[in-house]
Every structure is written in C-alpha cells, then in structure tokens.
Amino acid sequence: MKKIAVLTSGGDAPGMNAAVRAVVRKAIYEGLEVAGVFNGYQGLIEGKIELLQLGSVGDIIQRGGTMLRSARSEEFRTIEGREKAMKQLKLNGIEGLVVIGGDGSFRGALELTELGCPCVCVPATIDNDINGTQFTIGFDTALNTVIDAIDKIRDTATSHERTFIIEVMGRNAGDLALWSGLAGGAETILIPEEKYELPAIIERLKSGTGRGKRHSIIVVAEGVMSAAELAERLKVEAGIETRISVLGHIQRGGSPSARDRVIASQYGAKAVEVLKEGRGGLAIGMRNHVVVNYDLKDVFEKPNVFDVEMYKLSRELSI
Amino acid sequence: MKKIAVLTSGGDAPGMNAAVRAVVRKAIYEGLEVAGVFNGYQGLIEGKIELLQLGSVGDIIQRGGTMLRSARSEEFRTIEGREKAMKQLKLNGIEGLVVIGGDGSFRGALELTELGCPCVCVPATIDNDINGTQFTIGFDTALNTVIDAIDKIRDTATSHERTFIIEVMGRNAGDLALWSGLAGGAETILIPEEKYELPAIIERLKSGTGRGKRHSIIVVAEGVMSAAELAERLKVEAGIETRISVLGHIQRGGSPSARDRVIASQYGAKAVEVLKEGRGGLAIGMRNHVVVNYDLKDVFEKPNVFDVEMYKLSRELSI
Amino acid sequence: MKKIAVLTSGGDAPGMNAAVRAVVRKAIYEGLEVAGVFNGYQGLIEGKIELLQLGSVGDIIQRGGTMLRSARSEEFRTIEGREKAMKQLKLNGIEGLVVIGGDGSFRGALELTELGCPCVCVPATIDNDINGTQFTIGFDTALNTVIDAIDKIRDTATSHERTFIIEVMGRNAGDLALWSGLAGGAETILIPEEKYELPAIIERLKSGTGRGKRHSIIVVAEGVMSAAELAERLKVEAGIETRISVLGHIQRGGSPSARDRVIASQYGAKAVEVLKEGRGGLAIGMRNHVVVNYDLKDVFEKPNVFDVEMYKLSRELSI
Amino acid sequence: MKKIAVLTSGGDAPGMNAAVRAVVRKAIYEGLEVAGVFNGYQGLIEGKIELLQLGSVGDIIQRGGTMLRSARSEEFRTIEGREKAMKQLKLNGIEGLVVIGGDGSFRGALELTELGCPCVCVPATIDNDINGTQFTIGFDTALNTVIDAIDKIRDTATSHERTFIIEVMGRNAGDLALWSGLAGGAETILIPEEKYELPAIIERLKSGTGRGKRHSIIVVAEGVMSAAELAERLKVEAGIETRISVLGHIQRGGSPSARDRVIASQYGAKAVEVLKEGRGGLAIGMRNHVVVNYDLKDVFEKPNVFDVEMYKLSRELSI
C-alpha cells in the first residue's frame, strides 16, 4: 500500500480533527502518502480530494468540528453513487480509506470494502453508542460540556430552590445522560436502557423536599422523552413545578478534552497500522483499556452493552 | 446608622455573591454591623435574618448563584406583607437595607424606603435592562457564556455548512443578543429594540451562500420571537433549512467573570457608603465608567437607552 | 460494622470531594454511620471528627480541593501519634476508615490497619503514580488544565514563531507530561521513565525550523529537569532561544472533570463495600476498565508500570 | 483613499484577530481595498503583504494570537529600514495603515506617519498600560485567565491552609494585578504604582491567622518583585512559609473574552473610519465608555493615569 485517504462523516464530534491529524502523521511516519477527502462520502463521489502534508494538520488537534467537513449523501446510498466513489478512489491512486464517524458512516465503509477498497473505521460520536468499543471519540468532551451546564444550572437551582430537568442527547444510548448525571450529582437519571416509573420519581422528589433538600436535578436522555414532556407530566400528575433546559447542539462542539485527543491519536494511528497491512472491513475501538480492531460487521450485528453497574451506582449515590 | 442588612431578590445573576461580600466587608470596614436576609423579601417577612461576619462571606466571590438565596413573594406585594417586613427590620435593629436584584426587586425597595427604611439598590441581572446604569452585575458573565455556546455551535455549523439560530435571553432588552452576536461573529442579530424584516434576512442568508460562505449564525433575543418560530418562517417563506439552539438557564449560572466581580465589588461598597450617610431610595450604577448613585424612581420612569451605535456596527461588520 | 470514617491526606487533587461524597452516600445507603475526619491524620490525632449526613456533602461534587482539608503530620509518623489516632477512633466508635490520598497517605493506612483499624485506600493524586491502579483521581482534571495552558501558549508560540518549554508536575512519574504532551501536540516530551538525548532534541528542533515549522512546544516533567535548566542548555549547546512556562500549582486545582467525578464515585462506593465486609489493608483502583481492590502492600512493593506504547505513539505522531 | 493595510506588532494579545477582522470588514464595507501585512514591521520591510477578503477573516474572531503574526524588527529601528517599509507601502498602493499593538508598535506608526503614510493605532496589550485609553484589547481576557488561576490555587490554599503568592504580568502597570487581585479576593496586592511596606503585609498575614483565617492569597505584579523574592523575604523577615505560582505566558493566550471581542470590533472599525478621512498619527481608545481617537504623541508624552479609587477599594474589602 502506497497511498491512503481519510474522511469524516456523520455528525461531527470533538476530537475528529485530532484523529485526522493522527492518521496523516502516522501515515507519513510509515512512508505512505495520505489524502484528505472533503465533505464526507458526497465529497468522495465529487472528487474533493487533496494530498495532505504534515503542515496540513498543524494547529488542529485542539479544534472542535472537522477540518475535512462532513455532509449527508443521498447519492452514496445508491449503487451508482458508490461506484462513482470507487472510481474517484482509483483515479487518485488511493488503496485504503480511514472513515471517522458514527455507525451510519461505518455502513458505507463496509460497502466500499466489499467493492474492493479496504476501509478501517474510527468511532467518533458524542453518543458513545457504537457496538464493540467502550469509548468513542467525542464522548468525554460532550460529558464535560454537559456537566459544565449542570453546574451552571445548579447555581440557579440552589439559589431559587427549584427542580430542573435537563435534556441531553442520546436517542438509543443513555451513556451521556448516565455519566453526566452521575458526575453532575443529579438526583434522577432517565435513560433508554432502563425503564422509569413516574410514581417513583415523584416519590423521590417529594421525599427530598421533605428532608429539607433545596433543589433537585433530573437528567433525561432525549430518547426517553423530551424535558418539556416530563415537566408537563410532573405538573399534571403531582403538581410539581419544574424548569427545563434542553442542551442541544452545544454538546457537539468545543475544543476536545485531553482524553478525547489521546484516544483520537491512538485510534487514528491504529487505523493506519491495520490498513497498511492491507486489511479492511475493520473497526478500531477500546476494550478494557486496550486499543483493538474488530470486524466491522460486529457493529451492526452485536448488541451494544450497557453498563448496569454504573446505573446501579448512580441510584445508590442519589438516595 | 449602626446596623444594615442585605438581601438578594429576583432571578439570580453571577456576581450576586461578590456583591454580598462587598456589602458585608465594606460595612464591617465602616464599623457597621451587617445582617443577611435569606430568601429575599419573603425571608424578610419571615425573619430569616442572620448577623454576618467577615468569615461568612469567605470563599464566595467566585461562586455563581446567591448564598442568600432568592424567592418570589406574593405576600410582599400586599401592604400587610410589607408591614411585617418593616416589623422584622425594627425587631432586628436594622436601619438600612441593600437590595441586590433586578427592577422588580427595586420596586419593593422603593416601597420599604417610603415606609421608613432607607434602601439602596444594586442592579444585578443578566439582561442589562435597568434604566440609569450602563452595566448590571451578571451581564458580562452571561455574555461570555453565550459566546462560549456560539463558539461551540460554530464548530458544527462550519463542519456541516449549516445555518444555526441561537435564542438568547432578553424579553425587552436586546443587549445580551446584540453584544453576544457581535462578539460571536453572528451574521444576523434580532433584538426587540430594532425592527427586523424577514425578506432582508433571507436575502443576506442567500447572498452569503452565493459567495461561498459555508455557515451562518443568527442570534435572536427571546423577546422578538422563539428560535423555533424563526426557523419555521425561514423554512416556509424561503425554503431555508436551519438548526436551532435555545440556550436557556445556563445563561444565568457559572462563576462570575472578572469584570462582574469587579463591578459587584464597586457597587456593593458604594451602596454601603451611601446608606451610611442615611440616604435611601437610591440605585447604584455605572455611567460612563463612573460608579454613581441616582434616584430609584428614575429606574421606573425613564426609558432605557439603547446603544444604536453598537447595532449599526454589528450590521457593518456582518456584511 | 456500624460506623466508619473518611479522611483526605497528602496533596489535594480535584475529585477528592466527589470521593468523600460517594463514601458518605454509599455508607448511608448501606445503613452505616459515617464520620468525617478533618485535617488528615493530624486531625485524627486531635479528634477533629464530625458525624456527616447526606446534606453535609451536598453541592460539593463539583468543587476542587477537599472539604475535609488536608495536612502534614509529623506526629503521626511516631508510634505515639498513631496510638493517639487509634484512641480517637475507638472513642468515636469508628470501626473502619477510608483514606483518600497518595501513596504517602497509604503508608499511614497500612500502619493503622496493622494496629487494628481496617483501612481502605482511595488513590487521589494528579501525578497518576500509584502502583496497582491505572488511574488516580485528579489526573484527568490536571491533564485538562495542562492542555488548556498548552493551547493558550500555542497562541503566542504560533504568533511569534517561538519555541516554548512547558514544565509540568511529576517527580517520578511522567504520565502527566506524556498524556498532556500527546494531547497538546507537543513536538518533544521529556519524562523520568525514558532517557532523553539533548543532541536528538536539538536535531528535531532544527529540522522542524528547516521545513518551515513556525513554532515548537516541549513538555518536560519536573522530575527530569526544570524548564529553566533545559532552556539554558538549549541556548548554550545550540544557540536555540526558547521561552519557558512553569505551570505549578494551578495543576492541582479546579472543578473536577466528568471522568474524575465518575471514578471518584466508583472508588468511594467500592471502598465502602469492601470496608463493610470487614476487610482492611486494601487499595481501590482501576485495572483494564474494572474497579478492583488489591493488597495495599502492592503499592509499595511492586514497580509502577509505564505505558511504553503511548510514549512510542507520541514519538511517531510528532515527526 | 482606496487601499489600506493592517498589521499586528509587539507581544500578542487575545482579541488581535477580532480587531484585524473588524478592520478588514469595515474597510470592505466602506469600499476600500485592504491588505494584511504579515510578521509586523519586519514583514512590511520584506513585503509580506497580501490582499485580504471577507473570507480571509472568517472564523478568527474567537481565536487567540494573531493570524498576521508578530515579530521584532531591529531593521525597522533604522531609518533605512523604515524607508524600505515606505517603499513597500508605495509599491503595494497602500495609502494608510492600521497598526494593532502596544506602545512600542505605536512609535513605529508615528514615524511612518511622519514619513508620509498616515497610520492609526489600535491598542492591544494585556498590560492595559497605554496612555490615553482606559482599556486595551486583551486586558479583559488576561484578567479572566488570571482569576481562573487564582480560583484554582485557592482550592489548594484552602485545603492545606496555606499562603500563596501569585506573580502576574505588569512591569510598569499594575492594572492586571489590581483588578485580578480584587476579583480574585486576594488579601494583599502589590503593584508598581503604590509603595508597599513589608511590615504591614506581615502584620496583615499574622492578624488573618490570628482570627482563624485558613488561607491567604497575595498577588504581585512582576514589576514590583518576583514571587520568589517576596517568598524569601517573608520567610527571612517573619518566618512565614508561602508557596509561589508564576503565571507567565498563559496570560497572553486563549480565546478572547466577549468584552475584548467587542472593543476590538469597535476599535478596528473606528480606525478605518478615521483613516478613510485621510487622518493619521492617531490612536484609538476608550474614554469614559466612548470610543475616541487622539493624538499618537499623547501616548508618549502624557502620564498613564492610575485608578487610585480601585486600589483603595481593594484595601477596604480585604480587611
């Protein structure tokens, strides 16, 4: 293998730039040429491809977003689109591709691998919802953004003795809500993986007030219900007044945390190592503190593992 | 005067604690006794009053919220409530009161002054909407919180080439939207003080796209319309897709900025100075870089002055 | 076991409060009474012991430092001192002790265990230098503080095309320098675990300049040499001008990161679990993503494991 | 006037980029062409000049440092150097120049004005030490960086009951030390503008300890003496143990605060307005909340005004 490329796809996550940087630097260290594909798979189809140098990735490790940009591509979902992509890869002499993104992006990588271009995937999404890896790039930064918001809201909650409901991202995965709720000292955490019972929540809120607790914070993953809906139900069913805060897109941005920069560096370098050996159809990830590569198909076929212990801990500490 | 008291009232604002600290320390420096009233006017009615020492305000200058807490009081709106408050002031030997809060809180102070207890008001609200002062405590911190959010959202906006609408606080006053929009590099800023024209906004968005601009940020004060409404109108009237972010309560919290701590210290100390002279019915504020005191009635009777020059500047720089 | 106590000892680390909170809440959840010992082992000798409630640890999860305070104790190093400590434990009906701190503090815990009071230790130090655990509380926060400083210094380094030497904490352990250097995009990282060769560093600096690199950042652990000494040597031996920055005590403070709050919660709860079973002489830690307990003696007898892979990665990515 | 240029010079300050952006955008708004000079006066001599467009200053308002870079120039101090600079200006059709920097940079601007190229200066330095303006760009950001450091150090100071000495920038001007000390709640502040008396400082430290104060923070401007020297003197003369922290270069970097971005936008735009009228030899600044322009010579001939009131306040609040 003489030349590889790298692209970012799907929702952006802090640390994507650090991963791009690692891919480029490791590739050059290994004597490979490396190109950047701009605007994700759509850019690949359109041939938005540029050779990258060490200097191309200077001063980006600390930046949020992705210098390669990202985009949706309806065209890539068609076989014609993917063949155009393959043509561009050949035209540019690219023999392997690193795809940085979430599981939607990984599907594309699997298909390109099957069409003959070995792809290796680097998991980057703030939701931490990719099967086979315990950590995705961006999760740690998003977590810190969420607890910063919780800390700010606690100032008002304490001063006014109020209950706040904070809605965080996570349609199918509750990791962001669970970890941030635990780290933010939330009294109640609602996640898609665990059933909630409204009467029990109401009971907790009331017993807290009973023993003189001045404020309460509830963290809810958007996949369970919206903060507005929960507020409405607490009001209707128990007469409890709450304030809501929907954190929204700020969770996606910001300078990556130290940890996200470190795992982005590890994942990016590992992806090049694997690709250099001519292997494709693989994902990179972290398992029990070790950087591993595993079959891309596992991402789609195996169930995501939920950390029940941590949920139990969050319950015990919020008595 | 031998003994004064201090309370915080209305929505909390970062820097209230720094102001409480300044009142307490300056009072003790001047040889006065100083008491803290907890839970605002409601706490005053209920006699939640404690003598404060230097140590009572240690390690609070950097904290958001208010250690004296705040609360609404329906009872204080009645003459019976205010008479109970006066009784508590007498009972505790309090001869003057510093009220830290927004204009709603200032009304109460005016009424107490008229009942015989001289009150001096310190403006603290993130909205910067109090007549007679150019800056209120909390505004600068909120501003920095908002631009931090805008910077984060810009990461995603740039990476995905999208238009974002960011809704910030401000029902009647556009200062937070205007300053943060200017500091955040927003292309369009909508504030209550200036008429907006949707066709012109649409035109700007389209011309930006026309010359290759990859993303756009619109800041809208909640008093103009909600981000959701603006998004809907842009979609319906021009087919423009946008994402929205409602910053909400995070704008109220956080450790106060250096500037808010400084003006809180200045205002708090000035309030004690004025009160010590036996003067009440006054507000403290900043006018052209000078800390001043002025008639509390001006807060309600004079119109707030809007900085037209800054609005003009924001337009010129966002061509 | 009916009643336990908790103390913090040694240098403070962000997340100590979150660990104290977890110990208290988990203990109460398990039906135990829990006391706080103030000012570390010295306070234990002096009987500075108070029963803690849920409310005692409210609103502290986000605070740096330690609410139980910390102190050195010469007296505790004597057998007389430790016997006084044992007497206080008995006097207060304390049957087990959680010690939160670094390895110096762990020695004391081992000795108290041998005198009959089972102790369980929770590792908290920004240096991440405790044998038997991959992560200590405070390391992740310090890491983020350091990269924030590196990012700031990079602004000036880039603008002025200069080389900066940044000195970080770490007398015997290079983890903070290594991780922060990797995450901060440093060109050169000097740690106690790996020999450095000045000529090679000079060579790298010169070759960077040769290919148009505008600035360079060197991270050095204090255990290798001071930034000032390195600057002097680069000037004398190669005529290279550098600027230095000694980060110092800011590395110890600040609101703990999400991750530090999470592991502090896990460690604190685990310590109570183990102690409740009547077991002492143990340390809590993280091994390959699992929270474990292990023999306290391992802390002193086994060598700390250094992550050679990460050092190699840092070299490869800084070509 | 058809074409102007902009350069940054001297030590970098956060907000320089926001000022460059404002100059470029305002110039284009006014129908002028605008060029950027890279590497300060040295780059001007060498003809490192590029035409800038709206897109050239996209996404920089939030960045520290300066995209135009800065450099020292010995050559520019000679008449030959300045004549080369003039030649380049003519060669590039540049009829006016905006110089963003500190007072050293302003001298160069005065000399170029005298040689026939009208220059307007924008004050940007974290030291806030330029005569004729109450605020310089970068001061507010540096202030927030310093109080963030003080807040972190206070965590350790409180936990260990220690006295810390924090050394901040400021050779001739104490504004950074004074404002940050006031905002950081420091007990003692040493600045070049006011004499200090060691016995009084010692007295304060001891009386604090006497009444149970657990920690103390001293802020010293580097122009008074180094933190190390003060620590030594406190130890020798009164046996007081302290820890020191030298903040150093982190004070220069970081994303500019909201306020610095706003005044940078105001100053930059004002500079273009003035220059467009063909006027040179002027500085831009803030006086009593109004953006003004004034004779450049005043910068060198009039004494800087020190805010005695604020110093007095800091003393009264730190009893």
Which residues of chain C approach chain D closer than 8 Å at the C-beta? 8, 11-12, 14, 16, 63-66, 69-71, 145, 149, 151-156, 158-161, 164, 214, 243-250, 252-254
Q: Structure tokens of D167?
A: 């050394």
Chain B closest-CA separation from residue A96 CA (Å): 24
Residues of C in contact with D245 (CB under 8 A): 248-250
Best mutation target, C38, C150, C159, C161, to test chain D (most D CBs within 10 A): C159
Q: Say which CATH architecture domain C140-252 belongs to.
A: 3-Layer(aba) Sandwich (3.40)
Which residues of chain A approach chain B closer than 8 Å at the C-beta? 8, 11-12, 14, 16, 63-66, 69-71, 145, 149, 151-156, 158-161, 164, 214, 243-250, 252-254
Residues of D in contact with B310 (CB under 8 A): 262, 266
The DSSP symbol for D196 reads -
Residue C72: per-residue pLDDT = 87
Contact flag C69-D160 (C-beta cutoff 8 Å) = yes
Residue A214: per-residue pLDDT = 72
- Checking if the pLDDT of C213 tops 80, the result is no
CA D255 to chain centre: 14
A77 is in an annotated binding site: no
Q: Mean pLDDT throughout C15-23? A: 98
The amino acid that residue A256 corresponds to is P
Query: What residues of B are designated binding site for ADP?
Result: 21-25, 154, 185-187, 211, 213-215
- Checking if the pLDDT of A150 tops 90, the result is yes
Which residues are paired to B165 by β-bridges? B218, B244
Q: How confident is the model at residue A141 (pLDDT cuts 50, 70, 90)?
A: very high
pLDDT digits (tens, 9 = 90+) for A257-311: 999 999 999 999 999 999 999 999 999 999 999 999 999 999 999 877 889 999 9
Residue of A nearest to B165 (CA): A249
| B142 touches B173 (CB < 8 A) | no
Best mutation target, B53, B257, B263, B319, to test chain D (most D CBs within 10 A): B257
Where along chain C do its domains lie? 3-138+256-301, 140-252
Q: Which helix (H) or strand (E) holds B226?
A: none
Q: Which of B54, B179, B318 sits opposite D258 (nearest CB)?
A: B179
Q: Mean pLDDT throughout A142-156? A: 96
Q: Mean pLDDT throughout C290-296? A: 97
Contact flag A61-C183 (C-beta cutoff 8 Å) = yes
Taking the model in full, what pTM does it have?
0.97
| B284 touches B99 (CB < 8 A) | no
Subunit partners of chain A (3 or more CB pairs within 8 A):
B, C
Intrachain domains C3-138+256-301 and C140-252 with the same fold: yes
Q: Is A79 exposed, middle or buried (0-12, 13-18, 19+ CB in 10 A)?
A: exposed
* Measured distance CA(B230)–CA(A284) in Å, rounded: 42
Catalytic residue among C127, C140, C175, C260: C127
Contact flag A316-C29 (C-beta cutoff 8 Å) = yes
Residue B303: per-residue pLDDT = 77
Nearest to C76, CA basis, from C99, C52, C51: C99
Nearest to B222, CA basis, from B244, B237, B201: B244
Residue A195: per-residue pLDDT = 92
Residues of B in contact with D316 (CB under 8 A): 25-26, 29, 269
Residues of A in contact with B245 (CB under 8 A): 248-250
Q: Which of A69, A156, A249 sits opposite B249 (nearest CB)?
A: A156
* Measured distance CA(A9)–CA(A41) in Å, rounded: 7
Contact flag B155-A12 (C-beta cutoff 8 Å) = yes
- Segments in chain A forming alpha helices (H): 16-29, 40-46, 79-91, 103-114, 139-160, 175-184, 198-210, 227-238, 258-276, 296-301, 308-317
Residue A204: per-residue pLDDT = 87
In chain B, count of helices (H) and strands (E)? 11, 11
Q: Which residues contact C239 (CB under 8 A, 6 or more apart)?
A: none
Which residues are paired to D168 by β-bridges? D221
| D50 touches D38 (CB < 8 A) | yes
CATH number given to B3-138+256-301: 3.40.50.450
Task: Please tell me whether residue B225 adopts helix, strand or coil conformation.
Answer: coil
Residues of D recognised as catalytic: 127
Q: Which residues contact C248 (CB under 8 A, 6 or more apart)?
A: D244, D245, D246
Best mutation target, A261, A292, A318, to test chain C (most C CBs within 10 A): A261
Contact flag C26-A269 (C-beta cutoff 8 Å) = no
- Checking if the pLDDT of D132 tops 80, the result is yes
Chain B closest-CA separation from residue D288 CA (Å): 4
Residue D296: per-residue pLDDT = 97
A168 is in an annotated binding site: no
* Measured distance CA(A293)–CA(B237) in Å, rounded: 49
Q: Mean pLDDT throughout D142-159? A: 95
CA B46 to chain centre: 26
> What is the mean pLDDT for each group of 10 consecutive residues in chain B (319 residues)?
96 97 98 98 98 95 96 95 98 98 96 98 97 97 98 92 96 96 96 94 84 86 97 96 96 97 98 97 96 96 86 93
Contact flag D65-C156 (C-beta cutoff 8 Å) = yes
Contact flag C69-D250 (C-beta cutoff 8 Å) = no
Active site residue C260: no
pLDDT digits (tens, 9 = 90+) for C71-89: 989 999 999 999 999 999 9
* Measured distance CA(D249)–CA(C217) in Å, rounded: 13
Q: Structure tokens of A296?
A: 């891309």
Contact flag B156-A63 (C-beta cutoff 8 Å) = no
Q: Is B232 exposed, middle or buried (0-12, 13-18, 19+ CB in 10 A)?
A: middle
Complex-level ipTM: 0.96
Q: How confident is the model at residue C214 (pLDDT cuts 50, 70, 90)?
A: confident
Other residues' Cβ atoms within 10 Å of the Cβ of residue A305: 9
Strand pairing category for B216-221 and B188-190: parallel
Residue C243: per-residue pLDDT = 96
Contact flag B25-D317 (C-beta cutoff 8 Å) = yes
Q: Is A263 exposed, middle or buried (0-12, 13-18, 19+ CB in 10 A)?
A: buried
